[in-house]
Amino acid sequence: MTAVLDIHDMTVAYNRKPVLWDIDLVLSQPQLAAVIGPNGAGKSTLIKGTLGLIPLASGRVEMFGKGVDQVRRQIGYVPQRESVDWDFPVNVLDVVLMGTYGSLGWFRRPGPAERAWARECLARVGLSAFEKQQIGQLSGGQQQRVFLARALAQRADLYFMDEPFAGVDAATERTIFELLLAMRQEGKTIVVVHHDLRTVPQYFDYVVLLNMRIVASGPVETTFTPENLRKTYGGRLAVLDAAGDALKGQRP
């Protein structure tokens, strides 16, 4: 069976300063995977490099055994919320419809079928009532959910999400996670850049510990250990304490 995601020897550098160095990562089967690491560890860069949004100094990426450009239709992407201008003149449904653009081809506009599908996706994130709202009127957590609905609309098999939990309240975090879980059960693979160590054991089944290099990667039970976290985060005790609490919560 071919691996869902196979990153081999990826190096990314800005002005010769490495941001990612010799990354090797294989997800052999569908996973709900968290990418964690301190600020500046290259988490977003890993996603952008994998998707070909930034040039690689070296390395090769394969998805489903093929080059990225051959499987674009199977890839979904949720960028960081701050990466777009929320004052842009579009409404919520417009943004979700953008998820169908990849399958439309040149010049074609989304039709009734796409609209119906986009509405379905919007309902899955619980935002049906907001269809016609200008996107700037939404709260941070809702904007995040609009992006998730757009990703759902892509009907992809492999998703990359950059901090989908950033700046959302506890209730929204719950909603988003339940959605991810449902997608996981449909056999999709989701790679999530995550910043909250406490929720890792609770939410994810695979973890990638990153700090310019991959410190460790594997199933959460065996990989998310204090030892590995110390290697990733250095001596930042507050972080480790938080993670320790999480581990205790996980295995009472």
Partner 1 sequence: MIAYNTLVVLTGVSLLGAATGLVGVFAILRRRALTGDALAHAALPGICLAFMLTGERRLPVLLLGAFASGLLGNAVLAALRRYTKLKEDAALGIVLTVFFGLGVVLSRLIQNHFPGGNKAGLDSFLLGKTAGMTRGDLFWIATLAGICLVAVVLLYKEFKLISFDGDFASTLGWPVYRLDMLMMALIAVAVVVGLPAVGVVMIASLLILPGAAARFWTHHLSSMLILAGIFGFGIGLLGTMASTYLSLLPAGPIIVLTGTTLFVFSLLAGTSRGLVARWLLNRRFQEELEERQLLKIVFEKRESAAKKAQPPDVAWNFTREDITGRKSWSPRRAAAVINRGIVEGMIKFNAAQAYSLTEFGRRRSIEVTRGLRLWEMLLREHPDLAGPLANLGEESVTNVLPVETVKELTLQLQAEGRWPE
Q: Which residues bind partner 1 (CB under 8 A)?
A: 48, 51-53, 69, 72, 75, 77, 79, 83-85, 88-91, 94-95, 98, 101-102, 104, 106-110, 129-130, 133-134, 137-139, 142, 150, 169, 171-172
Sheet holding 66-67, edge to edge: 17-27, 5-14, 58-63, 66-67
- Closer residue to partner 1 in complex, CB, 93/180: 93
CB of 46 to partner 1, least distance (A): 14
Q: What is the rounded CA–CA span in Å between residue 159 and residue 78?
A: 8
- Closer residue to partner 1 in complex, CB, 165/233: 165
The two tokens of residue 187 are 């056999």
- Closer residue to partner 1 in complex, CB, 104/237: 104
CB of 95 to partner 1, least distance (A): 8
- Closer residue to partner 1 in complex, CB, 73/231: 73
- Closer residue to partner 1 in complex, CB, 89/112: 89
CB of 243 to partner 1, least distance (A): 28
CB of 79 to partner 1, least distance (A): 5
- Closer residue to partner 1 in complex, CB, 95/152: 95
Q: What is the rounded CA–CA span in Å between residue 184 and residue 153?
A: 16
Q: Which long-range contacts (CB under 8 A, 24 or more apart) does 142-147 make?
A: 142/172, 143/81, 143/86, 144/81, 144/168, 144/172, 144/176, 145/172, 145/175, 145/176, 146/92, 146/95, 146/96, 146/122, 147/78, 147/79, 147/81, 147/95
CB of 245 to partner 1, least distance (A): 26
CB of 226 to partner 1, least distance (A): 35
Beta strand extents in 103-205 (DSSP E only): 158-162, 189-193
On whether the CB atoms of residues 209 and 232 are closer than 8 A, the answer is yes
